[in-house]
Amino acid sequence: MGTRKIDLHKIHKLEYITPKDPVLVETSPGSYLSIDGMGEPGGEEFTRRLGALYAVAHTMKMSKKNTGEDYVVSKLEALWWGVTGPGDFSAEPKSDWSWKLMIRTPEFVTDNDLQDAIYVCQKKGKTPEIAKVRLEAIHEGLCVQILHEGPYTEENRTIARMNDFVEKKGLYFHGLHHEIYLSDPNRVPPERLRTILRMPVVE
């Protein structure tokens, strides 16, 4: 019998629902591989750091598989904010946008595992950004969530629906704009992209 492969998106399926209309979702604490950066989405720095994150994630996954702890590398996620911090930053130049790229990781993955993976990647001559990948815990708690279908550039119309929902519920946004990418933009045309939009809220 082979090793059971853990799939965090299935384990936490209620946190990764894709509603057509905004809903409230209670999210649990999660462990994430992450890397921070600033600049235009898809730009040079973004691309380098995304590559570093994936290199570490897949190296770590293979290492843990060899020890009998296999798991699926989760979908890419990202937190976004502007120069002034949380809030509507869409009008700011994309070159001023800040982001945290993230991949959810099983709780049994340790910082020692991360350092081992970084070392292996560095020995293979991977990008220097490899050293900037870290392991961190994130807990957003109660969030409003909706599926956005279409180009990233048209998210404002979906965000407006989130705003209306939150206002009617008497809630307030509390945290950073969170995106979970269900589609690969290199393989799927913009009009068919599927992205979960999430924002933490409080009463």
Q: Using the predicted structure, report yes or no on whether residue 1 has a pLDDT greater than 50.
A: no
- Tens of pLDDT, residues 99-155: 999 999 999 999 999 999 999 999 998 789 999 999 999 999 999 999 999 999 999
Q: Are 178 and 199 in contact (CB under 8 A)?
A: yes
Rg (CA), the chain: 17
Q: What is the pLDDT of residue 3?
A: 56
Q: What is the pLDDT of residue 91?
A: 86
Q: Give residue 154's identity as a one-letter amino acid code.
A: E
Token pair of 58 as six digits: 């897949």
- Tens of pLDDT, residues 155-164: 999 999 999 9
- The rounded distance, in Å, linking the Cα atoms of 198 and 179 is 6
Q: Using the predicted structure, report yes or no on whether residue 195 has a pLDDT greater than 70.
A: yes
Q: Please state whether beta strands 142-149 and 194-202 pair in parallel, antiparallel, or not at all (unpaired).
A: antiparallel
Within 8 A by CB and 6+ apart from 165, the residues are: 21, 22, 144
Q: DSSP string spanning 56-121?
A: HHHHHHHHHHHTT--BPPPPEEEEEEBTTBSS--TTS-GGG-EEEEEEEE-TT--HHHHHHHHHHH
Element (H, E) at 157: helix 155-169
pLDDT grade for 87, boundaries at 50, 70 and 90: confident
Question: What percentage of the chain carries pLDDT values higher than 90?
Answer: 90
- Tens of pLDDT, residues 19-78: 999 999 999 999 999 999 999 999 999 999 999 999 999 999 999 999 999 999 999 999
Q: Which domains does the chain have, with CATH numbers?
A: 8-202 (3.20.80.10)
Among 30, 37, 31, 32, which residue's Cα sits nearest to residue 132?
Answer: 37
Q: Using the predicted structure, report yes or no on whether residue 7 has a pLDDT greater than 50.
A: yes
- Per the prediction, the chain carries an average pLDDT of 94
Among 25, 106, 13, 3, which residue's Cα sits nearest to residue 60?
Answer: 106
Among 25, 30, 12, which residue's Cα sits nearest to residue 143?
Answer: 25
